[in-house]
Amino acid sequence: MKTYISGQTATADFAGIADAGLPVGVQVQEITPTVEAQIASYSSEGGFVFVDSGAFTAFVKGETVDFDQVLDDYERLASLTTTPANLAVVAPDAIGDMDLTAELQVAYLDRIKRLTSMGVELLLPLQRGWTNPQYLAHYRFIRQAIGPFTLAFAANKAAFEPQHVAELVVELEPERVHLLGVGTKNLAAYSDAVLWNSPNTEISSDANRVRVFIGEGRQITEEIEQGVKLAYQRELECEIDGTEEEGYIHNMPGYLSQAEARELARLFGVVDAAEIERWGRWSQEEASERFKSKHPASEEWEFGCKLGYMIEEVDPYGYLSQKFLHGRGQDELKEKLARLAAERQRSGIRRRVIAKVMTEDFQKRETVNSARAAQMILFSKVAAKPQSTAPAAKVISLAAKRKGTPLPSFAQMPLFAVAM
């Protein structure tokens, strides 16, 4: 069973899931150009990416979705990857409203078909509210119009009951099923509903598992904070060579982060907010010959970074540089820069922690889910054969005979079978 870890629209979070080699999910309206590049790279290299339309978020916030823009974004993502089959995109829908969902899917039928022709996996959501014959007619119409797709059931807000999923799986006989937003505690019931009645159906799902481990006292948050503390200690323990440090600060663009350069400005007595911001910007910029001609330093020096000229301006005789880089104020500067440097590493630490924790979580869940799925497939196939010990009460596989009776429950394993 493929489970996408959804909601990973921050660069470090996406990278952490990708580092773990796990299926990752994003919301299309929230991705940045950096994450877009990550999606293209990860899917091209064999990683699976789930792209949500944002309909659920819009439903929760009482907003509407611009599906024209959503479909444009899907097509752009599909064009950027060399392996579009590794992208799974959610077709237009309206949470809890099957009438509007069907209208949207029919209205955008040509756009949906274009996506499938590009090779992406299309997840076509159903919502509650119709009779089973209506679902069957809509499913067959879309299937005839665009070819194979993955049937998606709402399993979060306005969710289908597992028993209803079982009934529809019997009716529709889908090759693939996706469970939208299903929580861990409900996954077994929904997967049972599918596999018992259609053991050859492939199942996927999405859930924001990272969120489970984030918050005060939770594993990801605690490990990130511990990692930042350790980074701070390492930075604090580093010896400062004042002469070398001064040379780097004056001549190497980007040696200090903008936050570090702003902190340095405050230490040097700069109080004007706009001027402090300029220290931050100029710390990243090379001093061109034109710039040098407009900002001459002393007769003895010229600098490779614009920040050098800012320092020269406020400290022309080098008194403050001597104090903070060579003298008694060195410890104060060292502490501030160590703290800022550690914070600068937070994103990388978060990435590593997410990769570690989600790998552990995936391995635990995969062991349980794989064993459960194997049992369901086994028992559904056994149920297709007459039971020699009780010939008068034989159980017939729904997938094979379209009729049957449920097996008795066993070992905390609820089974769903539909009597036709």
* Residues 288-337: tens digit of each pLDDT: 888 888 877 665 678 899 988 888 888 876 766 666 666 556 677 677 77
Q: In what helix (H) or strand (E) does residue 190 lie, and over which residues does it extend?
A: helix 184-197
pLDDT > 70? residue 229: yes
SS3 assignment, position 252: coil
Among residues 1, 320, 393, the alpha carbon closest in space to that of 191 is found at 1
Q: Which residue has the tokens 């009776």?
A: 405
Class of domain 2-212: alpha beta
The Cα-based distances of 340 to 158, 261, 263 in angstroms read 46, 10, 9
Please answer whether residues 417 and 406 qualify as being in contact, where contact means their C-beta atoms are separated by less than 8 angstroms: yes
Give the mean pLDDT of 56-69: 87
Q: Measure the CA–CA gap between 280 and 219, rounded to whole angstroms.
A: 34
248 burial class (0-12, 13-18, 19+ CB within 10 angstroms)?
A: middle
Residues 6+ apart with CB under 8 A from 410: none
Q: Measure the CA–CA gap between 147 and 214, rounded to whole angstroms.
A: 41
Q: Give φ, ψ of 217 to 5 degrees.
A: 80, 0
Cα angle 38, 44, 48 (rounded to 5 degrees) comes to 75
| 197 vs 25: which has the higher pLDDT | 25
For the record, the structure tokens of 240 come out as 């400062």
The Cα-based distances of 216 to 101, 221, 225, 229, 230 in angstroms read 39, 7, 10, 16, 19
Q: Measure the CA–CA gap between 361 and 347, rounded to whole angstroms.
A: 21
pLDDT tens digit sequence for 80-132: 999 999 999 999 999 989 999 999 999 999 999 999 999 999 999 999 999 99
Residues 6+ apart with CB under 8 A from 313: none
Distance in angstroms between the alpha carbons of the first and the last residue of the chain? 27
For the record, the structure tokens of 126 come out as 């159903």
In percent, the amount of the chain with pLDDT more than 70 equals 81
58 burial class (0-12, 13-18, 19+ CB within 10 angstroms)?
A: middle
DSSP structural state of residue 408: P
DSSP structural state of residue 393: G
Q: Measure the CA–CA gap between 420 and 402, rounded to whole angstroms.
A: 7
- Residue 134: alpha-carbon gap to chain centroid: 34
Instruction: Note the pTM of the prediction, 2 decimals.
Output: 0.70
pLDDT at 320: 66
Sign of the dihedral defined by the CA atoms of residues 20, 21, 22, 25, in that order: positive
Residue type, 60: V
β-sheet bridge partners, residue 177: 151, 203
In percent, the amount of the chain with pLDDT more than 90 equals 45
pLDDT > 80? residue 368: no
Span(s) in the chain for CATH 3.20.20.70: 2-212
Q: Measure the CA–CA gap between 6 and 29, rounded to whole angstroms.
A: 14
pLDDT at 240: 55
Other C-beta atoms closer than 10 Å to the C-beta of 13 total 24
Q: Give φ, ψ of 123 to 5 degrees.
A: -100, 115
| Orientation angle between helical segments 258-267 and 273-282, nearest 10 degrees | 130
For the record, the structure tokens of 169 come out as 């799986």
pLDDT at 197: 84
Q: Measure the CA–CA gap between 260 and 283, rounded to whole angstroms.
A: 9
pLDDT tens digit sequence for 263-274: 888 888 889 999
Give the mean pLDDT of 174-189: 87
pLDDT > 70? residue 241: no
Please answer whether residues 215 and 221 qualify as being in contact, where contact means their C-beta atoms are separated by less than 8 angstroms: yes
Average pLDDT, the chain: 82
Q: Give φ, ψ of 306 to 5 degrees.
A: -60, -30
Residues 6+ apart with CB under 8 A from 171: 132, 135, 136
The size of the chain, in residues, is: 420
